[in-house]
Amino acid sequence: MKELISYDAYEQLADHYDRFVDTKPANAYYERPGTLSLLPDVEGKTVLDAGCGAGWYTKWFIDHGAKYVTSVDFSPSMVELTKKRAGDKARVILADLNQPLEQIESQSKDVIVSPLTLHYLKDWETPMREFNRILKNRGRLIFSVHHPFMDYLVFGRENYFSTELLDDEWNTPDGKVKVQFYRRPLSEILKPLHLNGFVIEKLIEPMPTDDFRREQPDTYEKWTKRPQFLFIRAQKTTSIK
Ligand SMILES: C[S@@+](CC[C@H](N)C(=O)[O-])C[C@H]1O[C@@H](n2cnc3c(N)ncnc32)[C@H](O)[C@@H]1O
C-alpha cells in the first residue's frame, strides 16, 4: 500500500495521533461534536468505522452499546492502536478504502462512519458503492471531510471546480510530516452519494464549541468565520447491486 497517498504520513503520525486524539481541540471540540451530532443511537447496532485511525470512534461505539463493530484502516500502526483501544471487542481489518472491502459481508451494517478519511481518496465511486453494498436497507452513512471552501482558500487554488491533489506539511512534536489529500468541489462530494443509492438527510457546517474557545481562542475566532470540515449524514434508500 506504500504508493498510496499519505500512507507514509500516517505510519509516521500514528503514535502522535494516538497521544493527542482524545484532547486535540480540532478533534475533541470540533470534528467529534459534529460527527456525534449526526449519529443515530448505536445501541444494539452493527457499525463500520471506515478509516478508524487510533480507534477513538471504535471505542466510542463499543462503549455506547454497539452490537458488533468492524474497523478498517490502511495503516498497520493505526490498526494496532485501534486493537489496543478496542481489546477483543472489535474486528479490526487492515484494508485500503480505494479497493472493494471483500472481508465485509453485504447488507451487514446499520451504520457506517468515516470521519476525516475520504479526502485521502481520489475516486469515491468504489468506496460509495462498497458502503451501499455493506449497509442494510435504510442504513446510515455519516462522514466528515475537509471543507472544499477551506482548502480552496488556504491553498490559494485557481479553479474551485477541479478535483486536485494538495501537498501539506503538518507540525508535530516529533517534526514535520508531509501529508497529501484531495480537494474537490461540493458537487463532487454529493454526486457519488446520489449515484450510489444514498439520499442526504443532513449536511452541517458546525461552529467550534466553547471548550474549543477556552483551549485555543485565536483559532476559535478564525474557525467561527471559516469552515474547516463538512459533515454529512446520508441514508441508503436504494440497493445498487
Ligand atoms: C485524520 S485520520 C482520522 C482517523 C479517525 N477517523 C478519527 O477521526 O480519529 C485519517 C485516517 O484515514 C486513514 N486512511 C487514509 N487513507 C486511507 C485509505 N486509502 N484506506 C484506509 N484508510 C485510510 C489514515 O491511516 C488515518 O488513520
Determine the average pLDDT of the residues in 112-134. Answer: 98
DSSP 191-237: HHHHHTTEEEEEEE-PPP-HHHHHH-HHHHHHHTTS--EEEEEEEE-
Distance (Å) from CA 218 to ligand 1 centroid: 27
CB distance 97 to ligand 1 below 6 Å: yes
Q: Quick one: which atom of ligand 1 is closest to the CA of 115?
A: 6
CB distance 21 to ligand 1 below 6 Å: yes
Distance (Å) from CA 157 to ligand 1 centroid: 24
Percentage of residues in the chain having pLDDT higher than 70: 99
How many angstroms separate the CA atoms of 219 and 225, rounded? 10
Of 10, 15, 17, 141, best ligand 1 pocket probe by most atoms within 8 Å of the beta carbon: 10
Distance (Å) from CA 216 to ligand 1 centroid: 25
pLDDT at 1: 65
Determine the average pLDDT of the residues in 174-199. Answer: 96
Residue spans of the domains in the chain: they are 7-236
CB distance 35 to ligand 1 below 6 Å: no
pTM here is 0.97
Write the DSSP symbol of residue 39: P
Of 117, 125, 229, best ligand 1 pocket probe by most atoms within 8 Å of the beta carbon: 117
CB distance 30 to ligand 1 below 6 Å: no
* CA-based nearest residue to 179, from 56, 11, 1, 37: 11
Strand 198-204, strand 109-115: pairing: unpaired
Percentage of residues in the chain having pLDDT higher than 90: 96
Architecture in CATH for domain 7-236? 3-Layer(aba) Sandwich (3.40)
Distance (Å) from CA 57 to ligand 1 centroid: 12
* 173 band by pLDDT with thresholds 50, 70 and 90: confident
Q: Does the structure show a pLDDT above 90 at 51?
A: yes
Strand 135-146, strand 229-236: pairing: antiparallel
Q: Does the structure show a pLDDT above 90 at 2?
A: no
